[in-house]
Structure 1
Amino acid sequence: MNSRLSLMMVLILVGTNPTMAQTTLVTQLQHSEKVEADRLFNQGLQQYQENQYGSAITSWQSALKLYRRLRDRPGEAQTLLHQGKVSFALSRYGEALQLYSEALPIIRSLKNQDSESTLLLLQGNAYFALARYEEALQLYHQALSIAQAVQNHSEEANSLMSQANVYTSLLRYDEAIHTYGEALLIFQAVQDRRGEATVLLNLATTYRRSSRYKEALQYYNQALPIFQKLKNRILEAHTLLSRGIAYVSLSRYEEAMAGYNQALPIFQKLNARDHEANAWMNLGFAQFAVQQFSQAERSLRRAIAVFEQIRLDRLSEANKISVFETQTKSYRALQEVLIAQNQPETALTISEWGRTKALVERLTQQLQPSSQLISQAPSLATLTQTARSQNATLVEYSVIDDPKGQETRLFIWVIQPNGSIAFRQVNLAAVLPKQCPTISRLIGNSRDSIGVRSSQSDWLIVDAVTQKHPCTQSDPDENFTTLYKLLIEPIASLLPTDPNQHIVFIPDRTLFLVPLAALKSADGQFLIEKHTIRTAPSIRLLDKTRALKSLSSGQGALIVGNPFMPNDPNSAQPLSNLPNAAQEANAIAPLFGTQAITGKQGTKKTVLQQMSDARIIHLATHGSFDDRNGFKSWLALAPSETDNGILTAEEVAQLKLNADLVVLSACDTGRGKVTGDGVIGLSRSFISAGVPSVIVSLWAVPDAPTAELMQAFYQQLKHNADKAQALRQAMLTTLKTHPNPKNWAAFTLIGEGL
């Protein structure tokens, strides 16, 4: 008879007035359960230390049930904390965060500051593994404050080291080195050899990432024997892996591969999947460098297979997006390896597989709830069929880096409407001007030259070097001609001659910021004068937007312009009035036989109520993007008693819309956080909500020209259902009266053209 059943029977027998003997019996049974819970907890600890993670989870789950029944809050908290550690070790970072979040309020209620500091560190580590660095840094700061307050020197040093890890990931190397130095002194003072070696390892990695390879090797070589003496196999293997990366940077490939091959069996034995995948990936890099192409392909495919296991293992959509940022290099490297083996079409399938994973998976499950997620590259037949069904020429770009992370080449695939595929590649050094040696810097400079550099950091989402060293090339024509030479000229002969035939561009990385319509050929023509243009973050997504198109069932139009402005959530100051946006809405609404919603009528509540049933949604208002957390990008609507009027991308993504078209006639609505999953922001969220066609802006658009362009667009659309052609004609019309690209080239159509 188990203890739970025994206790239940005793309680039934004793009724509500137990005798002393009966009370003693209950106490004995409770004591027995406490002993059993502690035994299970300690058993789990032993199993965890022996890397028997599955057995440890089983033991702790049983212990947790007993602790909760006994209302043993310390036991419950420690069990949750250790379950989180196992989930983290298995690369189930979202699950780890959930367990830590359950443990934290219990530990705080017990006023156990040492345990609280430890738990904050563990939470920070999970966010760090998901590349959510700002959240990790906040938790590390909290842990440090507590550790210093209670004079827990080991936790103080661990907090400092963890902060330095974030600084390294954010390229703040000087801060990282200084902070590691503080942590090292503390670890040495308390004679914590494991902590000392871990700081040496991380310090070496910081020197490596800042291109100080010889110094990096010195620190790796100091850390390795300490880990080996301590028999800390996981950190020994991690040191071998990291040192190998330094060897590659010094072209010492054989030494690098030897280290990777030593590390791999350790990671596999310990089921350290994330580290195993990184070891396979870096082994593939080294094999590619010495032209062992078939071996490199095999290693990179194994890396991707393990990465996919991690990404699909119980992660939320947001965490899938962030963790994939740590995995994208393997997909780009595999493209290079395949091109080196003269397999450009297979490389295209890998390029596609490395895009919009989370969004495609989300829409697949929305469209086919019973479908299983398949972790494999799309077939070539699927991609060519998309070109046929879209009746469009598809152009996909992929920016390729060297081992040091510098952009070196641009891969371009063109799929014709008949399914034929052509491949081109561009050596960036041969095209980019010396004063703008990277695509990112040229794009930033091009935007700056027409006066659309955003105060909200165009430079930040590009790179730190660009921020410090902007290009000196300031002539707009020169900038946009260079971009044309880079992006269009290599494939110009493959593009349709009929200006009404659609081209769908699939950008990559910062190419999402390029106003393609404004690219200028040597003959002085803008690209929009030659072609009808739309964009998509991937070819696979076009299949999903086509399916969404078939399901669009909205009726009528929701036209909103210049709602009563709320306070800017970034500054707490009132947003400015947009009188031209009101005029724009009032001019457009009669085309659909409706009235525009303006001023105080345009509350968030009212707009959301009407949004779900509309076929066309037009929002002319203020917008803002967040390039750190794209889901925090927003549109401004009128506030009410129940809300502040700010509609975030995160809220939009949770909606179920039936619209055929959404037009965001506001500033920066096509911006957001640029990731391997596309641009995370308002455009992505509306597609997630079920909208097949979205028109958004790439910068802060001027009020009056935008109103003219939008009126021209809807007038065209009334006579021609082709949205891409309507937008093209509206741009050409506005170009005549407002020739600066700033006034007409900001908007892009994402998704379906019809």
Structure 2
Amino acid sequence: MLLTACLVVIESPVGANVPSKGNLYKGRYQNSNLIVSQADVDKLAQQGQKLYQTGDFASAVKLLQQAINKFELSGDTLHQAISLSNLSSAYQKLGLWEDADLAVATSLNLLQRLNSSSENLRYIAKALDVRGHLELARGQTQVALTTWKEVGDIYKSLDDTYSLINNRIGRAQILQILGHFRQANQVLNGLEEIVNSQANPILKAKLLRSLGNIVAVIDDLKESSRLLESSLKNAQDSGSNTEISKTLLSLANLARIQHRMPVAVNYYKQAIERSNNFDIRLQSQLNLLSLLIDVKQYPDVYLLISQIQPELNYLPISRPGVNAKINFVHSLIKLSSEAGENRKLFKSISSSKPAQILAKAIKDARKLKDRRIESYAIGTLGELYKQDKRFYEAEKLTEKALFIAQTIHALDITYQWEWQMGLLLQQNGKTQDAIAHYKNAIETLQGLRKDLISINTDIQFSFTQSVEPVYRELLELLLQEKVPNSENLKLARNTIESLQLAELDDFFRSACLEPSEIVDTLIEKQDFHSAVIYPIILSKSLDVILKVPGEPDLLHYKTAINKEELESTVAKLREYLKNVTRTADVKRLSGKVYQWMIKPFETELAKSGIKTLVFVLDGELRNIPMSVLYDGQQDKYLIEKYAITITPGLQLLDTEIRQKLALNVLTGGVDREISVDGKTFPPLTNVERELKNIQSEVSNSKILVNQKFTEVNLHNQLQTIPFSVVHLATHGEFSSDPQNTFILTWNELLKSRKFDNLLRETNGYNSFQDPNSIDLLVLSACQTAQGDRRAALGLAGVALKAGARSTIATLWSVDDESTADLMNKFYSELKTGVNKTEALHQAQLATLDREKRPYFWAPFVLMGNWL
């Protein structure tokens, strides 16, 4: 995938077929008597590089091949090697990996024969850079990182600050892809100071923009915004409209990620006005068009379409030009599906004839011999015909686009055409064929896990628009029958497990979790009294799948209910749960959910001797505690019948049997009113009592309160002693946005990524699967963000990423006196030897005996391994 901070002239590849290498490197020349001047050879090489930069990679290959043969004939080894490096880059763009590998290997071999002058070292670094991009494109991420480390060492020895900075930016992105955020930040640490030491404002603007873009990928959006603003100031100081417009475009894209849509619109408009560069202006216009359609500002949309359409006629035949045509038609397709009352107006202004635009794009792609972009254009035409209900033609086009994408191993396009084929076949009533294509699409997505995080900016992925629907639509197909067959039930269970993992990847912006292929190990080999419940929210039903130990087949029950009604019920229930006066409403609504999810399986649960229910929750259901589901017939909450745990998926659980760990607890918290980062947090007056109660139950414990509760002290304690339990009684909030997920310390809001790196890396732990990792993390005064429908994803994210086997947290901030009592009981039970789930179960029951209102006992949930 494209590395946004490319180190030299090379970008990483994906592409199509051109003629193979033949005798390219042997220098065999049909007319060996031809005399060629040095100027002619240089001109060939320069033309080849120019064609590369305009996106005509196939033509660039031809000219570079000629230049290489002529450089070899004239004995110019240095320029032969340089051209071979550039040829490798072009091959990479065309997806010709073996040719690219041979070209760069030959280049390096030639360069290493030359003397070790500074100039030659610089070219070796550039050739290694090309090899690093090739390794990255072929999935050899760790190898690429090593190669780029070698490149960085060369630039450091040459005192080449500019190249070294770009190298470090690239290495940071690779570390981010690998999930090593702390190391990525360390690589970036100090770069801004080095950049600011540069005198040239244009150079500073470029470097700060690169740095801001990579920091956004690493997900520190606030810092990214600051760096880009600094880049803009330097660009303005330089007076370069090109640099100003490029940074404005980056700021607009960042604002869009932050959901600051009016700000993004303003930045896009400024970029358009300031740009004297056709490509930047057109890219800004296309991005603005897409955004305006998202926010339904249709009058502005139609005006912008009329401005963009004529400009498409002046585009050169190049990959960027073909991409622009495709992106424009994508926006028209989206507009057509969303225009509603404006459909007539849309049709009246759609004289652009999107099919003709795509036909021209396909023709241009073929002239370029760029199979990747040809596949994308053909598949988009198939999407357009699907929209127009020309299903036969759409299927044939999609089939062709899929064949090309598979041939060149362009996985990020392949999954889209597999998905599109599934949709088309479903509409044609070919259900089994449709299921097969959806399965292929998901398998391809799973192969793309790491790349989805730093995907080519030509094809930006939005999880909710471009990834999640693939899983959802397959689930609809698999569970469309009232009684699905056994094979479809198993596939549906595996699909919802995979969707949970994909959502977490999206939350982390990193594929850092390693799933297990065997999902039932815990209940089949270690805990025969636990059942797993998968409620799956479909458009017109709630389907619940049950797995009980010892049973080869999954059980299933379908309740006919619209998604909107279910989500409305759950949202109201969550609202009432936080109001101590609405217990009757809680019973009424939670009783409905009980009827949908538990009632159908009561007999089977009783017959199987089930004592613990493990929920893999979907969507809005994550935002309510399962303990509160109410059986009106027996006048009992679910917690009165079963111990309960939550997990984002069995494939993510540590299944290793461990020796019981001695209780060794690090506790910390803040009990005073405190203001941090412009937020004021009320006092938690019972925190000290809570922590001292734990100390009385667990003699081997350490307390950090108020001024002592800082990241530095946490780090030092965790580095010194391998604690089995970390218990934090402090304000915190879980959100679907990692930037708004935090734990409050005495002097800062410890954001999600910084917090989980603190827990995982100070002890040298890699994950919750490490036998020495923290067994239990307790966050006893946190809450999920109000109004955030995916807020519980933040809870799951903190729980998993922190590297703890299990996490106890609260869905809302509860009375801290009640919390202190419940936690005292929890540790008392834990000390007797029962597992974590049962200890929490007994603590909640004890609280319920004193206080019937769910507000006080229901918010506590255990996530992860319950044993």
Instruction: Please indicate, yes or no, whether the TM-score normalized by the shorter chain is above 0.5.
Output: yes
**In the aligned structure 1, how far is the partner of 2:557 from the partner of 2:427?**
19
Aligned 8 A contact 2:814 2:859 in 1: yes
Deviation at 1:693, TM superposition (A): 2.4
Q: Decide whether aligned partners of structure 1 residues 709 and 245 sit closer, same or farther in structure 2, where only a CA change above 3 A counts.
A: farther
Residue range with higher mean Cα deviation, 103-112 or 560-569? 103-112
556, 572, 583: which one aligns with 1:445: 572
How large is the Cα RMSD of the aligned pairs?
A: 5.3
Aligned 8 A contact 1:561 1:620 in 2: yes
**In the aligned structure 1, how far is the partner of 2:408 from the partner of 2:108?**
25
Deviation at 1:46, TM superposition (A): 5.0
624, 629, 633: which one aligns with 2:733: 624
Q: Decide whether aligned partners of structure 1 residues 113 and 582 sit closer, same or farther in structure 2, where only a CA change above 3 A counts.
A: same
Aligned 8 A contact 2:326 2:380 in 1: no
**Residue 532 (structure 1) aligns with:** 643
**Residue 361 (structure 2) aligns with:** 227
**Residue 265 (structure 1) aligns with:** 403
1:605-644 aligned within 5 A: 605-611=712-718, 612-629=721-738, 633-639=741-747
1:381-400 aligned within 5 A: 383=520, 386-397=523-534, 399=536
How far does the alpha carbon of each residue in 1:102-130 deviate from its partner, in whole angstroms, 9 at most, with x for none? Answer: 499999978768995999699699969xx
**Residue 55 (structure 1) aligns with:** 99
Q: Decide whether aligned partners of structure 1 residues 333 and 700 sit closer, same or farther in structure 2, where only a CA change above 3 A counts.
A: same
Aligned 8 A contact 2:826 2:842 in 1: yes
1:94-243 aligned within 5 A: 101-102=169-170, 116=206, 137-138=253-254, 149=274, 151-165=276-290, 171-174=294-297, 178=300, 182=304, 185=307, 188-189=310-311, 191-193=313-315, 194=321, 197-207=325-335, 210=338, 220-231=354-365, 234-235=372-373, 237-242=375-380
**In the aligned structure 2, how far is the partner of 1:702 from the partner of 1:51?**
60
Q: Decide whether aligned partners of structure 1 residues 574 and 252 sit closer, same or farther in structure 2, where only a CA change above 3 A counts.
A: same
Q: Decide whether aligned partners of structure 1 residues 439 and 73 sit closer, same or farther in structure 2, where only a CA change above 3 A counts.
A: farther
Q: Decide whether aligned partners of structure 1 residues 498 and 591 sit closer, same or farther in structure 2, where only a CA change above 3 A counts.
A: farther
**Residue 507 (structure 1) aligns with:** 617
Determine helix, strand or coil for the equivalent of 2:429: coil
Residue range with higher mean Cα deviation, 444-453 or 530-539? 444-453
Aligned 8 A contact 1:629 1:673 in 2: no
1:692-707 aligned within 5 A: 692-707=805-820
**In the aligned structure 2, how far is the partner of 1:502 from the partner of 1:566?**
39
**Residue 468 (structure 1) aligns with:** none
Give the length in aligned residue pairs: 664
**In the aligned structure 2, how far is the partner of 1:187 from the partner of 1:161?**
10
**In the aligned structure 2, how far is the partner of 1:80 from the partner of 1:536?**
44
**In the aligned structure 2, how far is the partner of 1:125 from the partner of 1:722?**
41
Deviation at 1:189, TM superposition (A): 4.5
**In the aligned structure 1, how far is the partner of 2:313 from the partner of 2:335?**
24
Aligned 8 A contact 1:660 1:691 in 2: yes
Determine helix, strand or coil for the equivalent of 2:866: coil
**Residue 485 (structure 1) aligns with:** 595
Determine helix, strand or coil for the equivalent of 2:863: strand
1:294-305 aligned within 5 A: 294-305=432-443
694, 705, 716: which one aligns with 1:588: 694
**Residue 517 (structure 1) aligns with:** 627
| 2:447 counterpart of 1:309 | yes
TM-score calculated relative to the size of structure 2:
0.64
**In the aligned structure 2, how far is the partner of 1:713 from the partner of 1:577?**
23
Deviation at 1:531, TM superposition (A): 1.9
**In the aligned structure 1, how far is the partner of 2:596 from the partner of 2:567?**
13
**Amino acid in structure 1 at the alignment position of 2:418:** W
**Amino acid in structure 2 at the alignment position of 1:538:** G
**In the aligned structure 2, how far is the partner of 1:100 from the partner of 1:190?**
37
Aligned 8 A contact 2:616 2:647 in 1: yes
**In the aligned structure 1, how far is the partner of 2:135 from the partner of 2:303?**
31
**Amino acid in structure 2 at the alignment position of 1:649:** D
Aligned 8 A contact 2:784 2:792 in 1: no
Residue range with higher mean Cα deviation, 577-586 or 266-275? 266-275
**In the aligned structure 1, how far is the partner of 2:296 from the partner of 2:125?**
36
Deviation at 1:279, TM superposition (A): 0.5
Aligned 8 A contact 1:411 1:424 in 2: yes
| 2:642 counterpart of 1:598 | no
**In the aligned structure 2, how far is the partner of 1:517 from the partner of 1:737?**
16
**Amino acid in structure 2 at the alignment position of 1:431:** I
**Residue 542 (structure 2) aligns with:** 410
Q: Decide whether aligned partners of structure 1 residues 145 and 745 sit closer, same or farther in structure 2, where only a CA change above 3 A counts.
A: same
**Amino acid in structure 2 at the alignment position of 1:36:** Q
Q: Decide whether aligned partners of structure 1 residues 366 and 46 sit closer, same or farther in structure 2, where only a CA change above 3 A counts.
A: closer
Aligned 8 A contact 2:729 2:781 in 1: yes
**Residue 84 (structure 2) aligns with:** 40
How far does the alpha carbon of each residue in 1:438-481 deviate from its partner, in whole angstroms, 9 at most, with x for none? Answer: 5433332321233379xxxxxxxxxxxxxxxxxxxx94333322
Deviation at 1:150, TM superposition (A): 5.4
**In the aligned structure 1, how far is the partner of 2:851 from the partner of 2:396?**
62
Aligned 8 A contact 2:493 2:534 in 1: no
Q: Decide whether aligned partners of structure 1 residues 77 and 284 sit closer, same or farther in structure 2, where only a CA change above 3 A counts.
A: farther
| % same residue | 21
Aligned 8 A contact 1:502 1:532 in 2: yes
**In the aligned structure 1, how far is the partner of 2:93 from the partner of 2:776?**
56
| 2:681 counterpart of 1:556 | no
**In the aligned structure 2, how far is the partner of 1:500 from the partner of 1:282?**
42
| 2:711 counterpart of 1:577 | no
**In the aligned structure 2, how far is the partner of 1:209 from the partner of 1:398?**
30
1:245-284 aligned within 5 A: 245=383, 253-284=391-422
Q: Decide whether aligned partners of structure 1 residues 119 and 294 sit closer, same or farther in structure 2, where only a CA change above 3 A counts.
A: farther
**In the aligned structure 1, how far is the partner of 2:251 from the partner of 2:663?**
42
Q: Decide whether aligned partners of structure 1 residues 107 and 583 sit closer, same or farther in structure 2, where only a CA change above 3 A counts.
A: closer
Determine helix, strand or coil for the equivalent of 2:682: coil
**Residue 568 (structure 1) aligns with:** 676
TM-score calculated relative to the size of structure 1:
0.72
Residue range with higher mean Cα deviation, 720-729 or 53-62? 53-62
